Amino acid sequence: MAYSWYKAFHIIGIVVWFAGLFYLVRLFIYHVEANQEPEPARTILKNQYQIMEKRLYNIITTPGMLVTVAMAIGLLTTEPDVLKEGWLHVKLLFVVLLLGYHHYCSRLMKKLAADECRWTSQQLRALNEAPTVMLVVIVLLAVFKNNLPTDITAWVIVALVIAMAASIQLYARKRRLDKEKQMGQGA
The response to whether 103 counts as a known ligand-binding position is no
Q: Is 102 annotated as a binding residue?
A: no
Nearest to 35 by CA among 24, 46, 49, 19: 46
Give alpha helix (H) positions in the chain.
2-33, 41-55, 62-78, 86-113, 121-127, 130-144, 150-186
Whether the bond between 80 and the residue before it is cis, its omega within 30 degrees of 0, is no
Angle between helices 130-144 and 2-33 in degrees, nearest 10: 160
Give one DSSP letter per residue of 78-130, joined into a string: H-GGGGG-HHHHHHHHHHHHHHHHHHHHHHHHHHHHTT-----HHHHHHHTTH
Task: List the binding residues.
Answer: 10, 91
Task: List the binding residues for heme.
Answer: 10, 91
